């Protein structure tokens, strides 16, 4: 279908290569339209951006701006994209202006999400070369209507073709990009340019400032480097016409220069003592709001410092530990730091809820919506369910309490149809038929390598040599059972598994399975748990079809795997291994828990 677009008189934003308008499509949808400027290079740059975005889409990269249309408006090429509610800079400013108990975890979560997106982008091959974004900054990262990050502005994206130095036009933003990207005339394109910029964003989120050398790098630069830095800063922060003049001057001045000619690394570290003080103080403030204990605050301060000292190293070279060449490694370390926050706040909230339930003297506190909201706003990995009848049954005049509590909980949107306060989390509660399948709780996702590693640390499980959000696989029945026992649960029965799929042919209902419903059907191998939200069951359980087979208490493998066709997915998936068989490569597990 062909659309037309109505643009306002003035652009929302203007850059060296064109303008961005918030426009209306002929069907009434609000969109963002990036129109190339009249400069001869602008049309080619926009066409290149479209090709880069299409390459990401072809590689199924999640979290990259979608190309809705590529048209001509008033004779100039124009890229049409979704219009997102806000960008990361606006979100981050809101957090900095009014931090809450959740801000520390949210900052780490957002940075971890961005690292995952960058990792996927870096794996995309375009024209035989790996992709590099080159302009990672808060204004180029958008939040969709669900709060998920979307990376945009691929106008400077390029392919990395081996370890070969090339002449590059200035691109990127000096306040975020590393010196070896912005300054040299000949540079070696490097994925650490993107991870460096992400680490600047993290530092800014934790401290409300940039690292000292990023805000004012003159102490790291030679006299020629200082002159170039000032020109680059002006070139990327002025109007288009003047910017082009300054860029041309910058290109002439830096021609032939290498990073070694411009940056003096002698005796320099990535961060100063002042940076350390700012980082420790910022984390202490945010962690205090989250209610973290001193030991965990120190763990976060030390962990963030070690991450940033490496990620913001003034130089980049292939040998570790300098910078993060693999954004996936950076994502894992950010998620490890986030788990410290989640584990602490979840434990404190659960303890508080238990105290409220256990003491009839404090039942009135449950009617305080502010108290309730602060206790139940939790991360995605944790959960606790409290039956209202159990709460009020122990109290004198219980029905009066029940009415007060139930009214407050209903207003907060937290009372389920089964009469329970539901706190969203890692575990979901499923209603059985109370005869062959009593009500039970079930892991929302398949057990990940990250959760498995926690069991390894406790010396109850065998090390699989990996971590992350992929499902753990290659498990024997005994290994799966041991893990669930360690986790405080057990293997689900086949009947419980079938109850979790809600009786339909597939967990999500009647629609025929696609790669958007299940990691299977010839799609690309294993994927992080929860990658197919269209396949979520009515009760909110994910990956009941595909990705990893799941052990049941009867010794059956259920649900299908990443290698399965539609005939093996969901309720239809069933393998009965013999004792002599080696567990299938994709045999995994999720655990059940008694109420």
- pLDDT tens digits, residue range 4-62? 999 999 998 887 678 999 999 998 899 999 999 888 788 998 999 999 999 999 998 99
Given a contact cutoff of 8 angstroms between Cβ atoms, the answer to whether 234 and 246 are in contact is yes
Bridge partners of residue 69, in order along the sequence: 80
Mean pLDDT is lowest, of 68-77, 280-289, 330-339, 355-364, for 355-364
pLDDT for 164 equals 57
Distance of CA 113 to the CA centre of its chain: 2
CATH top-level class for 86-342?
A: mainly alpha
> Quick one: average pLDDT of 499-506?
79
pLDDT for 488 equals 86
Name 90's Cβ contacts closer than 8 Å, sequence gap at least 6.
none
> Quick one: average pLDDT of 127-146?
89
Q: Which fold has domain 426-595?
A: 3.90.1580
**In this structure, what DSSP letter does residue 64 have?**
B
Residue with tokens 């050398």: 213
**Region for 316 from its dihedrals, namely left if φ exceeds 0, alpha if ψ lies in -120 to 50, beta otherwise:** beta
Q: What angle is formed at CA 336 by the lines to CA 213 and CA 423, rounded to 5 degrees?
A: 125
**Region for 345 from its dihedrals, namely left if φ exceeds 0, alpha if ψ lies in -120 to 50, beta otherwise:** alpha
Q: Is 162 exposed, middle or buried (0-12, 13-18, 19+ CB in 10 A)?
A: exposed
Q: Given a cut of 50, is residue 397 above it in pLDDT? A: no
Name 579's Cβ contacts closer than 8 Å, sequence gap at least 6.
none
**What would the pLDDT profile of 428-452 be if each residue is shown by its tens digit?**
778 766 566 888 889 989 999 989 9
pLDDT for 169 equals 55
Provide the percentage of residues in the chain whose pLDDT is more than 90: 39
Confidence grade of residue 532 (pLDDT, cut at 50, 70, 90): confident
**What would the pLDDT profile of 507-517 be if each residue is shown by its tens digit?**
988 788 888 88
pLDDT for 274 equals 92
Confidence grade of residue 408 (pLDDT, cut at 50, 70, 90): very low
All structural domains of the chain with their residue ranges: 5-82, 86-342, 359-423, 426-595
**What would the pLDDT profile of 291-349 be if each residue is shown by its tens digit?**
888 888 999 999 999 999 999 987 766 555 578 989 999 999 999 898 888 765 544 54
pLDDT for 543 equals 93
Record the tokens describing residue 459, joined without a space.
Answer: 């010396």
Bridge partners of residue 574, in order along the sequence: 558
Q: Three-state SS for 346?
A: helix
Q: Which of 57, 51, 56 is nearest to 79 (CA)?
A: 51
Q: Which of 306, 269, 308, 313 is nearest to 180 (CA)?
A: 313
The whole-angstrom separation of Cα 511 and Cα 302 is 49
Q: Does domain 5-82 have CATH number 3.30.200.20?
A: yes
């Amino acid at each position: 279908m062909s659309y037309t677009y109505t643009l306002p008189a003035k652009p929302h934003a203007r850059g060296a290569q064109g303008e961005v308008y918030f426009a209306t499509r002929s069907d009434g949808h609000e969109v963002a339209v990036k129109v190339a400027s009249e400069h001869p290079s602008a049309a080619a740059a926009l066409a290149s951006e479209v090709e880069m975005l299409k390459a990401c889409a072809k590689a199924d990269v999640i979290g990259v701006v979608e190309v809705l249309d590529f048209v001509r408006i008033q004779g100039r090429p124009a890229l049409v994209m979704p219009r997102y509610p806000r960008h990361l800079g606006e979100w981050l400013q809101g957090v900095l202006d009014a931090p809450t108990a959740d801000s520390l975890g949210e900052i780490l979560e957002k940075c971890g999400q961005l690292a995952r997106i960058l990792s996927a982008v870096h794996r995309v091959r375009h024209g035989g070369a790996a992709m590099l974004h080159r302009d990672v900054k808060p204004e180029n990262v958008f939040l969709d209507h669900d709060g998920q990050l979307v990376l945009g502005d691929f106008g400077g994206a390029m392919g990395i073709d081996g370890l070969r130095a090339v002449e590059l036009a200035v691109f990127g933003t000096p306040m975020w990009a590393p010196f070896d990207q912005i300054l040299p005339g000949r540079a070696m394109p490097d994925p650490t340019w993107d991870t460096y910029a992400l680490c600047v964003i993290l530092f800014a989120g934790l401290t409300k400032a940039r690292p000292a050398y990023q805000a004012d790098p003159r102490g790291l630069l030679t006299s020629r480097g200082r002159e170039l830095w000032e020109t680059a800063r002006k070139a990327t922060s002025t109007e288009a016409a003047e910017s082009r003049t300054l860029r041309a001057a910058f290109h002439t001045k830096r021609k032939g220069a290498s990073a070694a000619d411009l940056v003096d690394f002698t005796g320099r570290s990535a961060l100063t003592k002042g940076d350390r003080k700012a980082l420790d103080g910022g984390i202490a403030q945010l962690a205090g709001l989250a209610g973290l204990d001193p030991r965990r605050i120190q763990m976060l301060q030390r962990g963030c410092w070690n991450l940033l000292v490496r990620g913001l190293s003034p130089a980049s070279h292939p040998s570790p530990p300098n910078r993060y060449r693999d954004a996936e490694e950076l994502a894992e370390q950010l998620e490890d730091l986030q788990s410290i926050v989640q584990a602490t706040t979840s434990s404190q909230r659960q303890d508080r809820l238990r105290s409220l339930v256990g003491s009839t003297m404090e039942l009135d506190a449950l009617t305080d919506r502010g108290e309730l909201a602060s206790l139940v706003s939790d991360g995605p990995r944790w959960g606790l369910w409290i039956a209202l009848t159990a709460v009020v049954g122990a109290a004198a005049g219980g029905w009066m309490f029940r009415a007060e509590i139930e009214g407050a909980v209903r207003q907060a949107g937290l009372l389920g149809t089964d009469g329970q306060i539901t706190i969203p989390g890692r575990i979901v509660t499923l209603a059985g038929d109370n005869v062959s399948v009593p009500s039970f709780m079930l892991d929302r996702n398949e057990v990940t390598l990250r959760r498995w590693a926690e069991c390894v640390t406790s010396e109850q499980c065998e090390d699989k040599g990996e971590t992350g959000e992929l499902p753990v696989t290659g498990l024997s029945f005994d290994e799966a059972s041991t893990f669930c026992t360690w986790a405080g649960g057990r293997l689900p029965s086949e009947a419980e598994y079938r109850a979790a799929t809600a009786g339909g042919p597939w967990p999500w209902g009647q629609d025929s399975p696609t790669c958007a419903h299940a990691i299977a059907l010839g799609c690309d191998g294993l994927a992080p748990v929860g990658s197919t939200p269209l396949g979520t069951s009515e009760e909110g359980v994910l990956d009941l079809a595909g990705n990893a087979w799941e052990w049941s208490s009867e010794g059956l493998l259920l649900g299908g795997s990443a290698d399965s066709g539609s005939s093996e997915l969901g309720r239809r998936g069933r393998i009965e291994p013999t004792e002599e068989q080696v567990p299938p490569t994709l045999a995994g597990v999720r655990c059940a828990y008694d109420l």
